[in-house]
Amino acid sequence: MARMTMIEAIRDAMDVMMARDEKVVVFGEDVGYFGGVFRCTAGLQQKYGRTRCFDAPISEAGIVGTAIGMATYGLRPCIEIQFADYMYPAYDQIVSEAARLRYRSNGEFTCPMVVRMPTGGGIFGGQTHSQSPEALFTHVSGLKTVVPSNPYDAKGLLIAAIEDPDPVIFLEPKRLYNGPFDGHHDRPVTPWSKSDLSEVPDGHFSLPLGKASIVREGTAVTVLTYGTMVYVAQAAAAETGVDAEIIDLRTLLPLDMETIAASVRKTGRCVVVHEATLTSGFGAELSALVQESCFFHLEAPVVRVTGWDTPYPHAQEWDYFPGPARVGRALVETMEA
Amino acid sequence: MTTDGKLTLHVPEPAVRPGGTPDFSNVKIPKAGAVPRPEIDVEPETIRDLAFSIIRVLNRNGEAVGPWAGLLSDEELVAGMRHMMTLRTFDARMLIAQRQGKTSFYMQHLGEEAVSCAFRMALQPGDMNFPTYRQAGLLIAGGYSMVDMMCQIYSNSRDPLKGRQLPVMYSSQEHGFFTISGNLATQYVQAVGWAMASAISNDTKIAAAWIGDGSTAESDFHAALVFASTYKAPVILNIVNNQWAISTFQGIARGGAGTFAARGLGFGIPSLRVDGNDYLAVYAVAKWAAERARRNLGPTLIEYVTYRVGAHSTSDDPSAYRPKTESDAWPLGDPIIRLKNHLILRGAWSEERHKQAEAEILDTVIAAQKEAESYGTLHAGAKPSAREMFEGVYAEMPPHLRRQRQQAGV
């Protein structure tokens, strides 16, 4: 075990996989010599050489398109899109190609590829460095979508993603790179070194895709969340005293419906929390699934707490970000409903 | 080449990395005045070599020489000098403000001031720029209010963009400055569309597209070139080659093309390379391209050869990927010093006037800053209301947003 930040854990996962499997290649904008703008790939080029970790031209369509080509050859590309907000030029390659190669070629061509992207807000990045586009991926048949919330999970899930036979979108909440964040932006930053979740196993270790984690057991209400909001939800539960059971989904697709349904059947209430906008967000899917599988156990309507349906603003970041006050209010109201 | 039949992947690397001695011997610099000035209606295929040379006007002694010289009066050059000095001072003050926590982010122009300042003077009212985040000289030279710029940077109560946009992502239709996107290259093809619209409407306005060397790799750049070429759109396609795309050297985007200007040749677009640190050369080439566009002769592609002396942004530390002294070794010098030497040689400027101008400009910028700060900074004082966050998503606010605004209690 070693203490790691989320950045170090992600880097370690790639390092372990590059050492084990020479088919693993890593590339993206500023990823090679410099090691990425968030330093997730620092040192990998020096260790594995320029043909296994390299800088790409600023062309997200090119990065994803060439990665698909490499995957169909038999390599295992683990590529970086510098910010999830920059993903859109690559969307055609992801949706029409990566996601469907297996299906349309009846398994002749497959795409074992990981697309890593920093996601989410909380860093005053404005509308082009703060978005949470997970629902744009979960809506696409053929993709898996992962959102880790701590160094331990990040390493285990990234290794599982690299080993997965299908394309995986790996969204890294950038506000969590250097420490957990509970939405109290006016308080000192907590580093990962103070959290048990920064204890990461050495060498190869993986966590199954599709297995949620109960981060706080409770009896009053189930909170379904992922990424940065895992910590916001915990703060909200602590501050309101609501005995919430908080589930960190970890992977959105495949989804751990078993854990979700068991919890909601126990608590009878459900609050869904995410940073992304409300309308057609992943929360809508969760809400529908809970209603379908737990309707007769529900004692209150499923509530969603999300980012507002506006572009992500710069100055009004903390009015936009669904912080502990908003989540806490939803918990209390759900209990009173 | 390999002898055993096994393939290897070619991954380009810059000549020098941190710890090495800066080396620009691969940048071939022709003598000032050496590149001919073609007629405006020249057939593009007859000037293909201009995509591989560098048009320069100011020589090492500060003289303006050759066929591209002689377009600007003393007064115009002094004005240009003041624009560049203002932009540099503005940048210096805003960098400090960012470090003081008055804003979240800043991007400076150090070393590249001539490009946008001189280009702006070749345009006419009504023309439209589709800029990147490093062309604020278009606003400074166009007379846009520095207070408004700073209010945008501070996201304060007088921010013309209501706090919605990242600092330096200005927008001013009145000043021919299209709203900046943080996503790269998207504006390049939009500029072509705007120019096509001007032609469809039998208007007289032209457009200018802007992009950096790195972003020419984006598909939107190539789409822009094909549309501009096919429809002979009245657009100037600018590429600012400042050698670095964050940590990535220009060779990664350029590949085997030799130059960025050469990208235009396959599309039959007249493509010129110019010394981006030479105010007179930038102006002369921009004027040539603008006249071509205005005479309905179609697009021109211009590569400005320059160097990003500063960091990419306040989130970047270039010492991690290039030698610290690389900017000192840049062979095309500093645009302000070069114009200063020329003006002194012309008798239109002096060391004393330069010092005086520096002091005046600093006073003006500080006064603007004081005023802007009186309207608040990012984390202190007056700020745009949270209500503004919900406005402007649509022309009319749909019911679901109205509901959310009520929920937010703003």
Backbone angles phi, psi at A321, to 5 degrees: -60, 125
Mean pLDDT, range A11-38, rounded to an integer: 98
Which pLDDT belongs to residue B1?
57
Which pLDDT belongs to residue B3?
76
CA B349 – CA A91 distance, rounded (Å):
54
Amino acid residing at A236:
A
Residues 6+ apart with CB under 8 A from B395: none
CA B37 – CA A303 distance, rounded (Å):
69
Which single residue is written with the structure tokens 């030799």?
A: B258
Q: Decide if A58 and B217 are in contact by the 8 Å CB cutoff.
A: yes
CA A227 – CA A183 distance, rounded (Å):
12
Largest pairwise CA distance in chain A: 60
Could you tell me which chain A residue has the CA closest to the CA of B10?
A51
Residue B386 has its nearest CB partner, among A30, A86, A319, at A319
Q: Which two tokens mark A74? A: 């038999």
| CB distance A25 to A47 below 8 Å | no
CB interface of A with B, residues 279-298, below 8 Å: 279
Q: Is A34 at the interface with chain B, CB within 8 A?
A: yes
CA B109 – CA B139 distance, rounded (Å):
13
- Closest by CA to B52, choosing from B288, B258, B252, is B258
Q: Looking at A129, A204, A274, A297, which residue is catalytic?
A: A129
Which pLDDT belongs to residue B26?
86
Q: What is the pLDDT along chain B (410 residues), one digit of tens a residue?
A: 567 899 999 999 999 999 999 999 988 999 999 999 999 999 999 999 999 999 999 999 999 999 999 999 999 999 999 999 999 999 999 999 999 999 999 999 999 999 999 999 999 999 999 999 999 999 999 999 999 999 999 999 999 999 999 999 999 999 999 999 999 999 999 999 999 999 999 999 999 999 999 999 999 999 999 999 999 999 999 999 999 999 999 999 999 889 999 999 999 999 999 999 999 999 999 999 999 999 999 999 999 999 999 999 999 999 999 999 999 999 999 999 999 999 999 999 999 999 999 999 999 999 999 999 999 999 999 999 999 999 999 999 999 999 999 999 99
What's the pLDDT tens digit per position in A94-124? 999 999 999 999 999 999 999 999 999 999 9
Could you tell me which chain B residue has the CA closest to the CA of A279?
B400
CA B288 – CA A240 distance, rounded (Å):
68
Q: Which two tokens mark A103? A: 């299906």
Substitution target in B2, B241, B246 with the highest count of A β-carbons within 10 Å is: B246
- For chain B, give the number of residues: 410
Q: From residue A193, give the alpha-carbon distance in Å to each of A6, A37, A199, A205, B76.
A: 10, 22, 9, 20, 59
Three-state SS annotation for B378-407: CCECCCCCHHHHHCCCCCCCCHHHHHHHHH
Q: Is the pLDDT of residue A66 over 60?
A: yes
pLDDT confidence of A332, banded at 50, 70, 90?
very high
Q: Is A205 at the interface with chain B, CB within 8 A?
A: no
Percent of chain A at pLDDT above 90?
100
Which pLDDT belongs to residue B2?
61
Substitution target in A55, A63, A326 with the highest count of B β-carbons within 10 Å is: A55
Nearest-CA distance A210 → chain B (Å): 32
| CB distance A245 to A222 below 8 Å | yes
CB atoms within 10 A of CB A73: 10
CA B212 – CA B173 distance, rounded (Å):
22
Q: What is the DSSP letter of A58?
A: S
Nearest-CA distance B89 → chain A (Å): 25
Residue B248 has its nearest CB partner, among A55, A313, A316, at A55
Nearest-CA distance B326 → chain A (Å): 17
| CB distance B326 to B262 below 8 Å | no
pLDDT confidence of A137, banded at 50, 70, 90?
very high
CA B206 – CA B282 distance, rounded (Å):
18
Q: Decide if A85 and B183 are in contact by the 8 Å CB cutoff.
A: yes
Substitution target in A59, A178, A327 with the highest count of B β-carbons within 10 Å is: A59
Nearest-CA distance A267 → chain B (Å): 26
Q: Is A315 at the interface with chain B, CB within 8 A?
A: yes
Residue numbers in A near B314 (CB within 8 A): none
Q: Decide if B245 and A51 are in contact by the 8 Å CB cutoff.
A: no
- Closest by CA to A260, choosing from A273, A245, A274, is A245
Active site residue A129: yes
Residue A124 has its nearest CB partner, among B104, B181, B248, at B104
Q: Decide if B163 and A310 are in contact by the 8 Å CB cutoff.
A: no
Q: What is the mean pLDDT of chain A?
A: 98
Residue numbers in A near B214 (CB within 8 A): 57-58
Backbone angles phi, psi at B285, to 5 degrees: -70, -40
Q: Which two tokens mark B351? A: 């060391």
Residue B212's DSSP bridge partners are B240
What's the pLDDT tens digit per position in A223-279? 999 999 999 999 999 999 999 999 999 999 999 999 999 999 999 999 999 999 999
To which H or E segment does residue B208 belong? Answer: strand B207-212
Nearest-CA distance B337 → chain A (Å): 32
- Closest by CA to B37, choosing from B270, B205, B306, is B270
| CB distance B247 to B310 below 8 Å | no
Q: Is the pLDDT of residue A324 over 80?
A: yes
Amino acid residing at A267:
T
- Closest by CA to B336, choosing from B111, B138, B73, is B111
